[in-house]
Structure 1
Amino acid sequence: MTDWPFADPPDVAVFTTRAIVEDGAWIASVSHDAEDGAWQFHDAGPGSADMAEARIVSLRSMVERDPTVGEILDLPPGGRASRTAAGRPWDRNR
């Protein structure tokens, strides 16, 4: 990726889950935190919000893992998006 089209730099740290990073789980929800602008990428599993399952990776690695997240990286702080299955359209909500 030579042309990075997103406002946040490719090496910005984002929060995600062990299941996404280590097991290849699909990304079910994304949030752009209002308080600090942090990004969070969660899988659909029941333990997704458990801090023991948290991992920190680069934004670029998330886009490379699932290019469809590029469709929602314009979420404003406080924005959220989710979907019902891998490859399904994102539903944006605030």
Structure 2
Amino acid sequence: MNKSGVILLSNNWLFNDLPNTMILTTKDVLIMKKPILFVSHDEDDGMWQFHCGEDVDMDNATLVSLKEIVDYDISVTILNDLPLGWIAWRETESSHWTRQKN
């Protein structure tokens, strides 16, 4: 069980992308432990981005595996079917996600 109270079995991977797929996030999320409030699934290259909702400065950007992000916040697995070219956001860590074509 993780901090969200969700149980995820290791053999129950929900994303189509592999756990070792590299994604873009920020040091705000990884080091400062800010919640993930914005997600994009880029249409041009299929890259996933997980951010705290603030503007991303490239000096603050970092690459990690998709599994690392899921381990950090299992609630993002609900976005496993987010289509290419779409974004999702929420107001707080406990809010529902809103989705929209980017």
Quote the offset at 1:76 in angstroms: 0.7
Pairs aligned (count) = 92
What residue ranges of structure 2 are gaps of 5+ in the alignment?
A: 1-9
| RMSD (Å) for aligned C-alpha atoms | 0.9
**In structure 2, what is the Cα distance between the partners aligned to 1:44 and 1:80?**
12
Q: 1:64-94: per-residue Cα shift (whole Å, max 9, x none)? A: 1111100012111101000001111000011
Distance 1:5 1:68 in 2: 12
Aligned to 1:86: 93
TM-score by length of 2: 0.86
Partner of residue 24, structure 1: 33
- Unpaired segments of 5 or more residues in structure 1? none
- 1:63 match: secondary structure: helix
Counterpart check, 1:54 vs 2:67: no
Distance in 2, matches of 1:39 and 1:6, equals 11
**How far does residue 49 in structure 1 lie from its aligned partner after superposition?**
1.2
**Where do 4+ consecutive residues of structure 1 move more than 3 Å?**
none
**Greater helix content:** 1
Identity of aligned residues (%): 37
